[in-house]
Amino acid sequence: MRSTSSVTLGYLPSSSGFQREDLARNVLRYFAYVFVILALVFAVIAQAYGDVFFFRLATEALIYGGFAMGVDLLLGFGGLLSLGHALFFGLGAYTSAVVLKEVAPSFWLALAVTLCVGTLVGVVAGAIAIRARGVYFALITFGMAEVLAKAVFNTQELGGSDGIIGVPIIKANFLLFSVDTSNAAHFFLLVLVVIMAFYFALEALLRTPFGRLVVAIKANEDRVPFLGFNSQRYKLGVFVIAANVTALSGALYPMLRGFVSPELLYFHSSGNAVITVILGGVGTLIGPLYGSVILTALKSIVGSFTEHHLIVIGLLFMCLVMFFPKGVIGALKTQVEPWLLRRKEQS
């Protein structure tokens, strides 16, 4: 049996391969820093104008960006296309809403319970889904999400078709201060910290032997068992992690909107997440955040001019896929990477 480092060496056989991979990760990390800077600049400008609407819209874009980040972890690094990841987003939103409304208005309790529920459901759903590959995996995840959506829709204790309304305003208590969710600017900054914490945690995870093995499974799953590793176990692990990232992002939704509805579990939510990943760049992690902001802005801007905004957005998306198949961040990464490599070789 070989060590995990052997898998890494099998996947990247040369020191130049390691160097290029590290360079690619560093480039994406720079884009993450730029995203944080742009978000802070936006916060300053929006606060100066006192515009609550744009704060709420930007906060929603961040939450859906976290949703898409979970999809990208599966698709971009695990090679697993999930068409039912709304299962975990809706699950997280409903769990959070129930805890906040029926148990206690506690930010940390809502996240803790969501983490436990997301892990449990992720293990069960993942154990079923990872038995299939390719389109069959996608269809199984789609089917599980539809089953849960219909179950929630027909459960009157969860509000039925109306969902859960009247989720109370809460305060997220930290050691030296607290954040009131009714304050649009403060809650935006809190969500930004949470979502970026997800990004940097996942980015660090992918640098570990576990992360390298997940990428190796995507590259050639059939060869991994010959190296002494159980590929199913690692696929289940990355599935559960992706489920939790999405569920925890969903847990923030009722804190923003004050309600949840069965629509969060429907296919269009999963489809939008996949579109967001492709728009930002598959396998970049930070790309989904940019993609979510772009998609949210397009819906808001185009929707203010015509009720047929989805047609316009669909056409723009088709053009993007044809001319920028790697997505926005993927295309920029391709341009920046050679420049940084040349600078490193010259220094």
Predicted pLDDT at 230 = 86
Report the chain's mean pLDDT, rounded to a whole number.
Answer: 87
- Residue 25 domain-assigned (yes or no): no
Q: Is the pLDDT of residue 250 over 60?
A: yes
Residues 130-152 pLDDT 10s: 988 889 999 999 999 999 999 99
Entry pTM? 0.90
- Residue 112 domain-assigned (yes or no): yes
- Residue 226 domain-assigned (yes or no): yes
- Give the Cα-Cα-Cα angle 214, 215, 217 (nearest 5 degrees): 65
| Residue 312 backbone phi and psi in degrees, to 5 | -65, -45
Total domains in the chain come to: 1
Calpha distance 253→190 (Å, rounded): 13
Predicted pLDDT at 150 = 92
Predicted pLDDT at 1 = 40
Q: Is the pLDDT of residue 210 over 60?
A: yes
Residues 324-347 pLDDT 10s: 888 889 888 888 777 777 766 666
Residue % of the chain over a pLDDT of 70? 92
- Residue 285 domain-assigned (yes or no): no
- Residue 177 domain-assigned (yes or no): yes
- Give the Cα-Cα-Cα angle 283, 284, 290 (nearest 5 degrees): 125
| Domain extent at residue 86 | 51-264
CA distances to 64, 179, 299, 321 from 310, in Å: 18, 35, 8, 16
> Averaged over 166-177, what is the pLDDT?
88
- Residue 67 domain-assigned (yes or no): yes
- Residue 341 domain-assigned (yes or no): no
- Residue 99 domain-assigned (yes or no): yes
